[in-house]
Chains A and B, each alone.
Chain A
Amino acid sequence: MNWYGLYTLFAKETQRFMKVVVQTVLTPIITVLLYLVIFASVLQDHIEVYPNISYTQFLIPGLMMMSIIQNAFANTSSSLFQSKMQGSVVFMLISPLSNLEIFLAFVGAAVLRGVLVGIGVWLAALWFVSLPIFNVWAIISFTLLGSALLGALGLIASLISDKWDHISAFQNFVILPLVFLSGVFYSVDKLPGIWNQVSYYNPFFYMIDGFRYGFLGVSDINVLISLSIVSTFLVATVMACLWLLSTGYKLRY
């Protein structure tokens, strides 16, 4: 392993988003707070998903996870795609970095951005409502798994895309619907028939459910099952991403 090279690329990817921290970390936090203000204030007294848990408390972990994974995806997809477009990706490609090292550096930075946004949302949300922490390991595990999974998906998206349009299509037609149908705003049990069943094929549902369990101690699915399902998806996505990198698809001609 070229550890120093890996560290350098990770540091570069981290600096890249830290240089525009308002756009990459602060803005997502504010966006989530807007969701929180609107949904929580409108629905607070109308919806009770779990007994003795306010809707705001229910909502916050979901919103946290949503922002974690969206930002992890945005980080890898925009960074690699941009350097592909600018041609500066060649500097990485001619260096003695393996596909695995490149993968780890990009996904590592994506995880870091996800974690920072997640912590930011959490701290900001504490102004609104007190939120228990039931199991910190579940919180950490689902944060890491979820952001790594979306970081890897972001890499795949940037590898197969030819235009910015393709990236945003991926974001708007794949990631966003999966997030909205994953029970961020409601319990999927409240969904009618087919939508309810479809939700169980949505990996994001298990991420959100397990993550929420970490705070509230209640979940729709046994947290260990969620953990293994999310891990399985992560492994499959990582394999697909590494395979795509190894083919050199749209990268090494």
Chain B
Amino acid sequence: MAVRIQQIYKYYGDLHALEDISFNIEAGDFFGLLGPNGAGKSTLIGIMAGLVRASRGHIQIMGHDVHQQWRQARQVLGIVPQELAYDPFFTVKQMLRLQAGYFGLGRENYLWLEELLDILGLANKANTSLRDLSGGMKRRVLIAQALVHKPPVVVLDEPTAGVDVELRKALWQFTRQLHEKGHTIVLTTHYLEEAEALCNNIAILNQGKLIALDTKQKLLDYYPYRLLRLSLTSEDEVNLPPALQEKLQSFQPGQLVLKLHREHDQIGAILESLRAAQIHFTDLHTEEAGLEEVFVNLTSKASV
């Protein structure tokens, strides 16, 4: 088991940032940690990394307690922090060597650092001061820094926040490769299509509580709706029959989207009643619900 989280509580004064969080992450998993802003994701990651002290509870990384056996636990953990922090005094290469040095790794590790620079597309920035890098480049350096000691468990706290589409795709590919090489990956993100594309197992936090923990497929199944998207022949307003009104997901001129229950709604019957209401369309397709819908459904339900 890569990460074992047992009854973690974290209080900041009266604020319950985390309450009774327990779950495990298997070795070799690609794990998604999701939740709205302030849910407690970074706090939980901070406890794993030793940056935050739990009020109660234990976390083990590869069997090492982060509090009792902090040295071993930190050796097996790589953290990409959410904040774009950097030390302006040093170049990219110097920074990586320093970070590796903290982990006790010297010259014997330089080859790996060169490789990291290559894989992350930083080779031509190796001697550039961190101050002079763009935000996306700094993000890559953060990732490289997390990997200097080849940790079996890699935690990425919103690595794709504020990066352009191209870099995001590159980072996806990179984390996939890491995963294929056998690293356990823990990813937090606000882009749910990202979690959907990458993660096998997912935990959802909301207001400090664990509100869902399952495989991606089970979570997707949990939301029993799919969307029916129709391209209409006219751009006019439509008059939906009463039976369909409650199924309306969205309407834009020429575009009608209905939300259908997977089991209770028959597409044939729906199309029948549309025709009866004189609503004509040129094209139609259905979409399975994504994590987005599951997420909104879960987090909004929990907050009422």
What is the predominant secondary structure among interface residues of chain A facing chain B? helix
* The stretch of B78-86, B160-168, B217-225, B251-259 that contacts the partner chain: B78-86
Taking a contact as CB atoms under 8 Å apart, the answer to whether B51 and A253 are in contact is yes
Residues of B within 8 A of A252 (CB): 50-53
Q: How far is the CA of A64 from the CA of B173 in the complex (A)?
A: 58
Q: What is the chain B residue whose CB lies nearest that of A8?
A: B101
Q: How far is the CA of A86 from the CA of B86 in the complex (A)?
A: 7
Q: Tell whether, in the assembled complex, residue B83 and residue A87 are in contact, meaning their CB atoms are under 8 Å apart.
A: yes
Determine whether the beta carbon of B49 is less than 8 Å from that of A94.
Answer: yes
Residues on A with C-beta less than 8 A from B102 are 2, 5, 8-9, 91-92, 95-97
- CB pair B99–A95 under 8 Å, yes or no, is yes
Q: Collect the chain B residues with CB atoms within 8 Å of residue A12's CB.
A: 90, 98, 101
How close is B270's CB to chain A, nearest CB, in angstroms? 53
- Name the residue of chain B whose CB is nearest to the CB of A19: B89
Q: Does B23 contact A (CB under 8 A)?
A: no
Question: Do residues B52 and A4 form an inter-chain contact, with CB atoms below 8 A?
Answer: no
Question: If the complex has contacts A94-B79, A96-B75, are A86 and B101 also in contact, measured as CB distance less than 8 A?
Answer: no
Q: Is the CB of B103 within 8 A of A96?
A: yes
* Residues of chain A from 72 to 102 with CB closer than 8 A to chain B in the complex: 83, 86-88, 90-98
**How many Å lie between the Cα of A94 and that of B80 in the bound state?**
10
Measured CB to CB, the nearest residue on chain A to B99 is A91
Q: Binary interface profile of A, 1-24, with partner B (CB < 8 Å = 1, else 0)?
A: 010110111011001100100000
Of B49, B77, B98, which one neighbours A8 at CB under 8 angstroms? B98
Assess whether A217 is interfacial by the CB under 8 Å rule: no
Q: Are B52 and A86 in contact (CB under 8 A)?
A: no
Asked if B70 CB lies within 8 Å of chain A CBs, one says yes
CB distance from B131 to the nearest CB of A (A): 10
Question: Which residues of the partner chain B approach A15 to less than 8 Å between Cβ atoms?
Answer: 89-90, 94
Kindly state the separation between the CA atoms of A4 and B100 in the bound complex, as whole angstroms: 10
Say yes or no for B145: interface residue by CB 8 A criterion. yes
Contact across chains for B71 and A96 when beta carbons are under 8 A apart? yes
Q: Contact residue range for chain A?
A: 20 to 34
Closest chain B residue to A248, Cβ basis: B53
Q: Are A5 and B101 in contact (CB under 8 A)?
A: yes
Indicate whether B121 reaches chain A with its CB closer than 8 angstroms: no
Shortest CB–CB separation between residue B111 and chain A, in angstroms? 17
* Distance in Å: Cβ of B191 to nearest Cβ of chain A: 23
C-alpha spacing A95/B104, complex, angstroms: 10
In the complex, number of A-B residue pairs with CB atoms less than 8 Å apart: 84
Closest to A91 in B: B99
Nearest-Cβ distance from residue A17 to partner chain B, whole angstroms: 10
- The answer on a CB contact under 8 Å between B53 and A88 is no
State in angstroms the CA–CA spacing of A5 and B46 once bound together.
21
Most buried by A among B81, B90, B102: B102
What is the minimal beta-carbon distance from B138 to any residue of chain A, in angstroms?
11
Question: Bound state CA distance, A94 and B98, in angstroms?
Answer: 13
Max chain B Cβ within 10 angstroms of own Cβ: one of A83, A86, A93, A94: A94
Is the Cβ of B50 less than 8 Å from the Cβ of A4? no
Interface residues in B60-81 by Cβ distance below 8 A to A read 70-72, 74-75, 77, 79, 81
From A4, A94, A96, B51 is in contact (CB under 8 Å) with: A94
What residues of chain A lie closer than 8 Å to B104, measured between beta carbons? Answer: 2, 4-5, 96
- Complex alpha-carbon distance, A132 and B53, angstroms: 55
Closest chain B residue to A102, Cβ basis: B102
State which residues 11-45 of A face B: CB under 8 Å: 11-12, 15-16, 19
Choose from A9, A88, A96 the contact partner of B85 (Cβ within 8 Å). A88
- Complex Cα distance, B72 from A4, in Å, reads 16
Q: Which residues on the A side are within 8 Å of B103 (C-beta)? A: 5, 95-96
Q: How far is the CA of A92 from the CA of B49 in the complex (A)?
A: 11
Q: In this assembly, does B38 line the interface, its C-beta being within 8 Å of a C-beta of chain A?
A: no
Please, how many angstroms separate the alpha-carbon atoms of A86 and B275 in the complex? 63
Q: Which 4 A-B pairs have the closest CB atoms?
A: A8-B101, A87-B85, A95-B102, A88-B87
- Contacts A90-B83, A91-B145, A253-B51 known; 5 new A-B pairs at CB < 8 A: A9-B102, A19-B89, A86-B88, A90-B51, A95-B74
Q: Give B contacts to A, CB under 8 Å.
A: 12, 46, 49-53, 70-72, 74-75, 77, 79, 81, 83, 85-90, 94, 98-99, 101-106, 145
Q: Supply 22 A–B pairs (Cβ within 8 Å), ascending by A.
A: A2-B104, A4-B101, A5-B102, A7-B101, A9-B101, A12-B90, A16-B89, A86-B87, A87-B83, A88-B85, A91-B85, A91-B102, A91-B145, A93-B51, A94-B77, A95-B74, A95-B103, A96-B75, A97-B102, A98-B71, A252-B51, A253-B46
Q: Which residues of A are at the interface with B, using a C-beta cutoff of 8 A?
A: 2, 4-5, 7-9, 11-12, 15-16, 19, 83, 86-88, 90-98, 248, 252-253
